[in-house]
Structure 1
Amino acid sequence: MAHSPELAAFTISNPVGQTTIDFQDVSAVRMLNRALLKTHYNIDFWDIPANYLCPPIPGRVDYVHYLADLLACSNNQEIPRGRNIKALDIGTGASLVYPLIGQSEYGWHFTGVDIDSAAIKSAQQICKFNKLKITLRQQQKRENIFRGVIEPHDAFHVTMCNPPFHASIEHANKGTQRKWASLGKGHSTKLNFGGQNAELWCPGGEIKFIASMVEQSIEFAEQCLWFSSLVSKKDNLKPLSKILGKANVANFKVVEMAQGQKTSRFIAWTYIKENQQSLYMKGAKK
């Protein structure tokens, strides 16, 4: 807390006497994020508009590191570093969390995309105040994911996405109720990490969103080495695997990430054959 003394006001002691925060308190999570970004990633200014998704930083770090390992498999087992490595973050959000982590840890150049103009404006502010060179693009059509934001001259080594996982606002509210009930908090419509509708749900939910992502990725098969997306529900992996099989990808992987007792995962796919991936790593740097 030496770098962020204001965090002290939000700390509590858990039953075994350890110092922590109340992760159901959005203000506490926001302050913890600010402290972690300043301490570990040299981000002096970070803030987001009220009611926008404020996810804990530790739960987002693993995705970036595991993507680095994925790229290493295509790069003679060496994690690639530097701004020559291009990453595309779909749904970058007002928090800009993934580009902030990935640029600081590996020096990659990020392009962040979002459909929400307020989220893009917030991300622009974060970049401006921290003097960061991150490309930001607004998606104009809700049905598009890669279309309209990947330009003809673009070449990316990896894309990433934390997709909306509910199928409707009703499902999102029910999920909230289950979470608060399991915490013994009773009835509440309050989301502990916040979030706008576009961040939380889309018609058809996670499977439909990722299926659309796979469908559109075919059009950009030669402009990206690895496409990827987080998958919140393990049961969704089987239908998604079938979808990828029909897309005739060269390879796809399910990567599990463990944080304490929680296991999350992402699915990654490529149209580039394994014996050509190291050449792509070099070619996409141009």
Structure 2
Amino acid sequence: MKASTSRAKLHPRNQHLNGYDFDLLTEQHPVLSAFIITTPAGTKSIDFSDNKAVKTLNQALLKAHYKVDFWDIPQHNLCPPIPGRVDYIHYLADLLADDNQTHIPTGRQVKVLDIGTGANLVYPLTGGHEYNWHFTGTDIDPAAIKVAKQIAQFNHLKITLKQQKNAANIFKGVINSKDLYHLTLCNPPFHASSEDAVKGSERKWKNLGKAPSSTLNFGGQNNELWCEGGEVQFISNMIKESAAVAEQVMWFTSLVSKKDNIAALEQALKQHPIAQYKIVDMAQGQKVSRFIAWSYFDKDTRAQICEELG
């Protein structure tokens, strides 16, 4: 029985387009059965205000749809909603296809850099399964890198993981002189302060019809949720740093949570010899999100790079 929640606006290739199949999920991951509830409409669901339920749902989704047999993260780490995260992956595949005569390049020759991969490792796990791309994940938190390595090892997955040892840097120190990437991706910290993060948490609890709690249903540590200047400053720093590795990355990309921030980021892009940039909207249920992508290569050069992928 599938959940009644409409996800018709997810990417057409998203496995969760028609909602959660709780019969399949509980069959694949029986532990989830303890968290199943019946909605007033008579459909199966979970209590999304319960962080244990959310984590168990993620375990079931990753196992049933992405062949991830083991996935566990510390309680304080960000526990991302899988359908929305994998949507980003599918839209990135379309971005590559636009440069490759509508054909999506697949296989481990496609190199992807995940900035701030976190303990959850969600993009390498889902993107690796969907397109067999080779992922490199980076994070400033050594504990997150340790957990991510354990997840990769337990599932016998070849995912490269690097610790960013300087919190002031994004690409510097993780993109070496001989590295070449077709894509970078990032889900940046979008709050400008810890106070903003708390307010955001309170809004989530209110939307779930619950009293405010000190525990986020999706978790998250400070470095995962906020940074000085918020996402505009973080992505602007990313754009500035990208100039130094312009010849080593075909497309730089980052999620942008607030539409109002796009104008400032476009201004930041204009400070550099960018050949092309795109704002790609991703609609997920009632929520509209987006990512920004920029490249220092013109379209003909990108097409040639894609052609070499086979």
TM-score between both structures, scaled by the size of structure 1: 0.97
Match for residue 210 of structure 2 among 162, 168, 185? 185
Structure 1 residue 187: Cα displacement: 3.5
Q: Retained in 1: the 8 A contact 2:111–2:182?
A: yes
Q: Kindly, what percent of the aligned residue pairs are identical?
A: 59
Match for residue 197 of structure 1 among 197, 214, 222? 222
Alignment partner, residue 144 of structure 1: 169
Alignment partner, residue 146 of structure 2: 121
Question: What is the count of residue pairs matched by the alignment?
Answer: 285
Alignment partner, residue 10 of structure 1: 35
Alignment partner, residue 21 of structure 2: none
Alignment partner, residue 206 of structure 1: 231
Match for residue 251 of structure 1 among 276, 295, 300? 276
Letter in structure 2 aligned against 1:58: P
Letter in structure 1 aligned against 2:255: L
Q: Retained in 1: the 8 A contact 2:49–2:208?
A: no
Alignment partner, residue 47 of structure 1: 72
Structure 1 residue 280: Cα displacement: 2.0
C-alpha distance in 2 between matches for 1:247 and 1:171: 31
CA RMSD of aligned residues (A): 1.3
C-alpha distance in 1 between matches for 2:56 and 2:154: 18
C-alpha distance in 2 between matches for 1:37 and 1:176: 25
Is 2:267 aligned against 1:242? yes
Letter in structure 2 aligned against 1:35: A
Structure 1 residue 282: Cα displacement: 4.3
Alignment partner, residue 82 of structure 1: 107
C-alpha distance in 2 between matches for 1:163 and 1:134: 21
Structure 1 residue 190: Cα displacement: 2.1
Match for residue 294 of structure 2 among 264, 269, 273? 269
Letter in structure 1 aligned against 2:219: G
1:26-105 map, 5 Å: 26-105=51-130
Render the CA deviation track for 1:135-172: whole Å, top value 9, x for unaligned: 00000000100000001111000000000001111111
Structure 1 residue 11: Cα displacement: 1.0
Structure 1 residue 183: Cα displacement: 3.5
Render the CA deviation track for 1:7-64: whole Å, top value 9, x for unaligned: 1111112221111111111111111111111111111110011210001111111000
C-alpha distance in 1 between matches for 2:44 and 2:206: 25
C-alpha distance in 2 between matches for 1:24 and 1:271: 43
C-alpha distance in 1 between matches for 2:195 and 2:76: 18
C-alpha distance in 2 between matches for 1:107 and 1:187: 41
C-alpha distance in 1 between matches for 2:82 and 2:178: 32
1:266 partner SS: strand
Structure 1 residue 75: Cα displacement: 1.3
C-alpha distance in 1 between matches for 2:113 and 2:192: 24
Render the CA deviation track for 1:185-244: whole Å, top value 9, x for unaligned: 233322121111100000100000000000000111110000000001110011111111
C-alpha distance in 2 between matches for 1:250 and 1:191: 40
Structure 2 alignment gaps of length 5 or more: 1-25
C-alpha distance in 1 between matches for 2:152 and 2:55: 18
Alignment partner, residue 222 of structure 1: 247
Structure 1 alignment gaps of length 5 or more: none
1:228 partner SS: strand
Once superposed, which parts of structure 1, at least 4 consecutive aligned residues long, lie more than 6 Å away?
none
TM-score between both structures, scaled by the size of structure 2: 0.89
